[in-house]
Structure formats: C-alpha cells, structure tokens
Amino acid sequence: MTKPDIPSLTARLLKGDKLACAKLMTIVENDPADAKKVISRIYRHTGRAHIIGITGPQGSGKSTLVNQLASHLRKKGSTVGIIAVDVSSPFTGGAFLGDRIRMKDLITDRGVFIRSMATRGCKGGIARATCDAIKILEALGKDIILVETVGAGEDEVDIMNASHTSVVITVPGLGDDVQANKAGMMEIADIFVVNKADREGADIAVCELESMLGLTDKCGWKPPVVKTISTGSVGINELADRIDEHFNYLKENDLMRQKLKRRAEMEIVNIVKDVIARDVEEIKKSEAYNKLIEEIIEKKIDPHSAVDEILKMVKKRHVKE
C-alpha cells in the first residue's frame, strides 16, 4: 500500500471532499500515529458542529430513530454526519449490519455522510478513533454530527462524553436488568427518549424516568423525556427541538467550556493508552521482551516487576525519537 498523502487529503477535506473524508477516517482507524498527523492539521477547523451522542440498548430502535432524526434535520437545511459505533463483543452486537441497511435513503443524500466504526478492524481504541472521526466530519463542514453507540460500557460512555448533547433511549418493558440500571444513565443523559411509545407501559416508563430525574442536577438543565415511535416518525420533531434547546442552554449558560474540558480530558487518556499500546507492540518484537516472558513463565520474575523493565524500554524509545 502506498503511503497516504495526508497533507493533500486534509486540504481536500477542508474543501468538502467526501472521498477524502472517507479515506482520512480509514487512516485514523488504522494507525494512531497517522491519526496525529491528520488531527494536528485539521484541529483548528473544528468546533462549529453540534455533536449529538445517541445510545440505548439493543432492540431499542436506535438506528431507525437516528435515521429519522437525520432526515428531519436535513429537511430543516442542516448538513449531517452520522457515525455508528459498534463496540462489539461475542455475546452482543448481532443485528448491527442489518440496522445499517435501513439507512439507504440517507446514503443517497449528498448532504449526509455515514460511517460505521467497529472495535474489530480498528487498530487502537475505538473511543480514540471515534473522537478523531468526529473531528474529520467537523472539518468536512457538517452542521450536525450524530454519533450512535450501543449500550453503556466504558468506551460508549467516553464516546457520549465527546458530544455536546447526549440522548439516551429506552423502551417500555425492557426488563428488570435495564430498569435497575437506569440510574447509571442519569449521569450521561441530557435528554431521554422512550421509544416504541405505542407499546404498553410507555407512560409508566416516562413517569419513572421523570421521578428519577427529580434527583439529578445537570447545572440547572432538567433532562426532558420525549416519547417517540421511530417507525412512524412520531415525536421526532419534538426530539429535534429538545436537542436544539439543550445546545442553546449550554451556550447561554456558559457550560460549553465545561463540556469541552471533560472531552479533552477523556481524549487525552485514550490517546495516551493508544500511544503506550503501540509502544508495547513494538517492544514485543524485541529479544529483551521475549526473554522477560520466559522469565515470568519460569517464575524468575513476576509480571509487575517485568513491567518495570518494559517501561524502561518504552522510556528509551521516547528518548530516541
């Protein structure tokens, strides 16, 4: 593979070239070192888009809702970027590709850019790669960026923290496991959606959420609960309005800086992890590393003490660079 011409690709990106955008996204996914070259060139062209994170459990109709929301935003004249993140594990994540097929209306719309990202095939952390992908869409000039994740593991929470507005989707009757853990979502959500609101129990779900929300404090913002039926486009208008209101609230109440600070701190931790992981991968090729592994197996050194030795090697690498 020829080395990508990052200066030329980023120049094209800033002129709105979607092909360059797709290529740059692949680059930041594949190589954390190249990601730095890309992001350092485009970072000052970011910061104008409204980034909206959307999460919820499997089967909550998330992708259809994202689809509907994107169509609505397009009709109102905004350009839209969509990143669908699949932090998959062998026990979950089955229906993901199927969901994407439903987006075919949007794919033919030139004002929309859609990208799926998955842990598999992504060298380095998915949260780091997603944050970089968001910046690329910002530099492409998208007005609104929708970032869709499944569930709320560590990576997903990081990804939600990269957004200005976090939307958490639930559906009526998802069972005790989910109900019992809604508390964990209270911290993330700026807006709640009860999707499939034509199902039995929708009003109870809304009531429950609202009573729990009485206990939260998000700098004066009370997360609204919106009922939607994404298959029938019900409630999408209201959801879009609430999202807009939240963004304005952030700006009017001087809360943007706080959001950006949290994002910067999260990004730094994830980039550090990636850089160190890359260093360790390099060190794994060395004879010294293999000798250490042998010594661990033979109980001549314990793994913690072996790491001391490895970190000395990492340090030497950084000195050389």
**Secondary structure (H, E, C), 282-303:** HHCCCHHHHHHHHHHHCCCCCH
128, 154 Cβ separation under 8 angstroms: no
Give the residue, chosen from 43, 231, 232, 282, that forms a contact with its own copies under the rule CB under 8 A: 43
User: What residues form DSSP beta bridges with 169?
Assistant: 193
**Minimum CB–partner distance for residue 134 and its own copies (Å):** 12
**Residues 116-155 as x/- pattern, contact with its own copies by CB under 8 A:** ---------------x-------------------xxxx-
Phi/psi at 318 (nearest 5 deg)? -70, -30
Our finding on whether 11 is near its own copies (CB under 8 A) is no
AA letter at 213: L
Our finding on whether 215 is near its own copies (CB under 8 A) is no
172, 200 Cβ separation under 8 angstroms: yes
Q: Tell me the site size for its own copies, rule CB under 8 A.
A: 67
Question: In whole angstroms, what is the distance from residue 126 CA to residue 200 CA?
Answer: 36
Give the residue, chosen from 231, 272, 286, 288, that forms a contact with its own copies under the rule CB under 8 A: 272
* 126: nearest Cα among 154, 101, 98, 146: 154
**Minimum CB–partner distance for residue 9 and its own copies (Å):** 16
Our finding on whether 93 is near its own copies (CB under 8 A) is yes
Our finding on whether 273 is near its own copies (CB under 8 A) is yes
Our finding on whether 213 is near its own copies (CB under 8 A) is no
* 293: nearest Cα among 306, 304, 280: 306
13, 24 Cβ separation under 8 angstroms: yes
Q: Which residues bind its own copies (CB under 8 A)?
A: 35-36, 39-40, 43-44, 46-47, 57-58, 89-95, 131, 151-154, 156, 176-178, 180-185, 188, 257, 260-261, 264-265, 267-269, 271-273, 275-277, 280, 284, 292-293, 296-297, 299, 301-307, 310-312, 315, 318-319
